Amino acid sequence: MYTRKTLPLRRILLWTRWHLALFTALAFVPVALYDILGCKWLHVPWLPISLVGTAVAFIVGFKNNASYDRMWEARKIWGGIVNASRSFTVMVKDFVRHDDIPGDKLLDLHRELVYRHVGWLTALRYQLRTVRPWENKRASPGNRRFHGMPFRLHESEIPMECAVAKYIPTDELGEIFSKANQATQILGIQSRRLRELRKAGLLGAYEHVEIERMVVELYALQGKSERIKNFPYPRQFATLNYVFVWLFILLLPYGVMEEFERVGDHIIAEHLSDNASTGALDAFVQFAGSRFVWLTIPFSAVITWVFYALEIVGELSENPFEGGPNDVPITDLSRSIEIDICQLVDCTDIPEKILWESGVVL
């Protein structure tokens, strides 16, 4: 998640400079053939190209809307995880009680349940960061250029087993990591532990039902996160969108060369009709007008850059858990949840907030 007010123009250009150079080269080739070698037959009527451009604009807009919907849904899901985590912790603190058990023993039970919940958060976060075949942001050179440095994901630096082991009792780790979905197993163990507390008289019947409902809610939020993670933006739409954008990029210079040439001829004709012209000015106008077709290059480069920038913005927003600069910051959210709920049960080893660099929160 990018947290500064605006993206600096320097970073945007740094992000897309190689593509801008490519678009300039793609426009230079047809203009050189058209003006230097006299290949006037390279001109393509503007009408069909404008129809392609209109279609591309609609398709790119549709993809960007769909990508934003996926990202915003992911953020709402994790907003629900924040709320559910706090509610679960308050329930643990208020429901798990017994008059015959000392306060320090109860506090240890509260911390056990809360730490196991943090372990679930950690496992879920790692599972959502796992790379899928259709994801590409983490290894994208464009993203590294955007920041001027490679991304540093905590999930890439610390193995999942080490991260989860800080919160889970040792005797439970084998059961958790022997299964494919560790987050699901942790919630299952949490539910089993709550049942044991109910049998021991530390949870009333009503309180047990209520806190189990919260476990079910956590399962639902995990499933919603996995739905977005494991079901990509439909690849047939993404592929055709990419092809159509590049088709427009390639065709655009061929449709505007003759138009710029006509403008140049019109400038020359208008100047020659002016009797007050001078020799030096005549030569300049003749030269500029006869070379006006070369304005096709910057014009085409800018227009195609706009379309391509919109295309890659949509592409880089469609997988909100991947770990890119525009994604849902689940690492930071997990740390914030951990701090909040550990403070609720008076833990002593509360971690510090993560200090992020370059205005990007992951």
Nearest Cα to 73, choosing from 184, 273, 223? 223
Residue 4 pLDDT > 80, yes or no? no
Rounded to 10°, the helix 330-344/103-129 angle is: 180
| pLDDT per residue as tens digits for the range 326-357 | 888 999 999 999 999 999 998 888 888 887 77
Structure tokens at 166: 């800080």
Its pTM stands at 0.88
Which residue did the predictor score with more confidence, 268 or 148?
268
Least trusted range by pLDDT, from 46-50, 230-234, 276-280, 283-287: 276-280
Tell me the average pLDDT across 238-245: 90
**In the predicted model, what is the mean pLDDT of residues 288-311?**
88
Task: Report phi then psi at 231, rounded to 5.
Answer: -120, 105
DSSP H/E element including 312: helix 296-315
Res 349: pLDDT: 86
Residue 205 tokens read as 């019947």
The pLDDT, as a whole number, for residue 352 is 85
Specify which residues 144 forms β-bridges with.
none
Residue pLDDT, tens place only, 163-183: 999 999 999 999 999 999 999
Q: Considering only CA atoms, which of 135, 132, 224 is closest in space to residue 183?
A: 224
pLDDT tens track for 99-145: 788 888 899 999 999 999 999 999 999 999 998 888 866 555 555 55
How much is the average pLDDT of 38-45?
Answer: 85
Tell me how far apart the alpha carbons of residues 145 and 357 are, in angstroms, rounded to a whole number.
15
Domain map of the chain by residue range?
Answer: 6-42+234-317, 75-232+327-362
pLDDT the model gives residue 278: 64
pLDDT at 147: 46
Residue 157: band (very low, low, confident or very high) from pLDDT cuts 50, 70, 90: confident
**Residue 188 CB partners (closer than 8 Å, separation 6+):** none
The pair of structure tokens assigned to 127 is 């599972």
Q: What is the arithmetic mean of pLDDT over 240-263? A: 90
Mean pLDDT throughout 7-28? Answer: 85
Residue 2 bridge partners (DSSP): 360
Say yes or no to pLDDT of 206 above 70. Answer: yes
Task: Kindly state the average pLDDT of the residues 223-228.
Answer: 96
* Structure tokens that stand for 268 in this block: 């020359």
Q: Which amino acid is at 109?
A: L
Residue 29 has a CB neighbour count (10 Å cut-off) of 12
Q: What are φ and ψ of residue 201, in 5° steps?
A: 85, 10
pLDDT band with cut points at 50, 70 and 90 for residue 324: confident
| CA 153/CA 150 separation, integer angstroms | 9
Q: Decide if pLDDT at 289 tops 60.
A: yes
